[in-house]
Amino acid sequence: MDGFFPLETGRRKTLKAAIGCVGTGLHSGRRVRLTLRPAEPGTGIRFRRSDIGLELPALYDHVVDTRLCTALGIPGEGADRRIGTVEHVMAALAGCGVDDAVVELDGPEVPILDGSAAPFLFLLDCTGLIAHGGGAVPAEAIEVLRPVRVTEGEGPEAARAELSPFPGDRLEASLTIDFANTAIGRQSLSLRLTPQAFRDGLADARTFTLAEEVARLRAMGLAQGGSLANAVVVDGPLVLNPGGLRRPDEFVRHKLLDVVGDMALAGAPLRGRFTGHRSGHALNNRLLRALFADRANWRAVPGPVLGEGVAPRLPAAAAAAVA
C-alpha cells in the first residue's frame, strides 16, 4: 500500500513508473487512453493531450469551464483545445501526496471510469510513489492567512465557499449540500483530509445526476458517455442503480471529493479550513482566484518534515503578487 500513503520526507513525490487505463469520457462519450507518468521535481501536475500536442499545468487560472466538471484550457482558445473532467484524477493525486506527474490523454477528457476517484487510486497503488533525490526541489504548501469567501445568490441558503486559517498541516474541510430531490436531501460532512481519510471516506464516492436532467444535458452535448455504470442516477426518492448507493451519504462525499480535486489546482497542498454550502466547481474555482488575488491572504510554507522551503509553483497571477 506504499503507493497511497505520502512518504513524509519533506521531499517532493512522483510515481515510480508509468501506468495507464482506457475508458470513456463522461461528457464527450469518446474512448480515451490515460497514462499517469513520473515527472521531474518542481514541475507540478501537468495534463498532456498527445492527440493535439497540448500541455497544460493543473492550475486554477487555467480553468476555462466549470459546467458539471472542471476543464482546463488556455483562455481565449477554442473548446477543441481543452482537457475536461480533471477533478477526480486531481483528487486522487492530491490524496496520495503526488507533487509531480504528467497525466497524458489521447482525447479531450479524462475517462470517467466508475465515476469516482477509486480507479485512479488503484493505479497509483499499483505503481507506487517515490521521493525525489535529496538535492531536488523540496515539498511545499500554501498556508491560508485570513478568511476568503465567495458566494452565489442571496439569503441564508445562498451557495458559498470559504477558506480560513486553521492550525495543523492539512486541509480541514466541511461541506453541506441541499437538494429538493428526496433521495438526496440535505447532507453534511466534515473531514481532516489525511491520506487515510481520503481513502476511507471519499475516494469511492461516485458522481450523480437527476433522471430528469439526463435528456437536457445530452441535448447540450454533455453526459454523452454517462450510464448507470459510471454515475448514480436519482429519480425522486429512488436510486436507479441496481446496486444502490455505496454509502447513505455518498452524495455529499462525492461533492467533497470534487472539492479536493478543485482545491488541488492551487498548485500545492493547502493548509487551512474549507467550508462550503452548496458549493460546486464554479464556486470552488472562484474561491481559489479570490485567495490568490491578494498576497496578504496566503503564504508559502515548507512541506511536511522540512526545515526550509521554497515558494510553491504557483500560477503567473499569484507569482506576480509575490514579486
Annotation says 27 is catalytic: no
Q: How many angstroms separate the first and last alpha carbons of the chain?
A: 41
User: Would you state the torsion angle of the CA atoms of residues 135, 123, 262, 33, taken in this order, to the nearest 10 degrees?
Assistant: 110
Cα 294 to its chain centre, rounded Å, is 23
Nearest Cα residue to 148 out of 323, 272, 313, 279: 272
Pick the catalytic residue: 27, 132, 277, 281? 281
Residue 191 neighbours by CB under 8 Å, 6+ apart: 172, 173, 174, 197, 201, 202, 256
- The catalytic residue positions are 281
